[in-house]
Amino acid sequence: MIFRQFCTPDRDISYLLADPVSRYAAVLDPAIGAESDYLETVRRLDLRLIYVVETHLHESHLSAAPALRAETGARLVTHSSVDVDCVDMHVDDGDRLYVGEELLSVVATPGHSSCSLSYLWRDRVFTGHTLLAGETGSCRRSDADAGRLFDSVRERLFALPDETLVYPGRVTDRRRISSIGQEKAANNDLQPQISREQFAKRKQLQAMHSGPWQAGWPANQRCNRPD
C-alpha cells in the first residue's frame, strides 16, 4: 500500500494513494499551495499520477486539480453534475475507478453539496466535507441540503463496518482521522437520538453563526482561470 496524507495551514486535507506494482497514483482533493508536495511525492516514489479526484466542487479552498492536471496529464474526476470544462471524467454512485490494481468505489453522499461524493478504498473511506471527525460538513452553500446530509451519513456511511477508517477533507479539533464506529458513538452532530428534523435545525443554526463565506467556489468553477 502506498498512501500519504497532506494538510495545509488552513486545515484542508488531501490524499495520495498508489498501486505499488504499476506505480499509478491518484490524488484526492488537492489544495492550492501544496502542489509541490504532491509532485515531489510522486517524483520521489517514482509514481505516475493518472487521476486527480474531487469529492465535490470546493468552496472553502482553491483546488490544485487544474494545475496538477496541466502539469502531469492526469485526468480530473468529479461528480456527474459538475459542469466545469477542465473535468475529464464524471462519476456517480456505484462507479468504480481503478488506479492500477487499486479500486476506488464511488458512494454518492449529497448534502454538504449536491455533488458530494465519498470514495471507498480498502479499509477506509474518503468523505470530503460530508463526514468530518466528530462533526458533519456545513450547510451554507446554495445547493446544500441538511436532510440529504443526514441521510447520506446515517444511511450510506454508517452502513459501513464500524472498523472502516474515516479520512475527512478537513481537520476538526486537531483530528485528521476517525472511524465509522467512533462517529456512530460520538459525532457531535449525529448522536443516536437526534432526528432528521432536529439535525436540519442544528445545521441551519450553525450556518447562521459561521464565519464569512470563502471565495473558492467561483474560482474552482472557472478552473482557477481569471475572469
How confident is the model at residue 224, as a pLDDT? 56
**pLDDT, tens only, 123-178:** 999 999 999 999 999 998 888 899 999 999 999 999 999 999 999 999 998 899 99
Domains of the chain, by residue range, sit at 2-210
User: What is the 8-class DSSP label of residue 155?
Assistant: I
Residues 76 and 91 sit within 8 Å (Cβ to Cβ) = no
Residues 125 and 118 sit within 8 Å (Cβ to Cβ) = yes
pTM for the predicted model, two decimal places:
0.93
Amino acid at the residue 201: K
Class of domain 2-210: alpha beta
Lowest mean pLDDT among 15-19, 178-182, 185-189, 221-225: 221-225
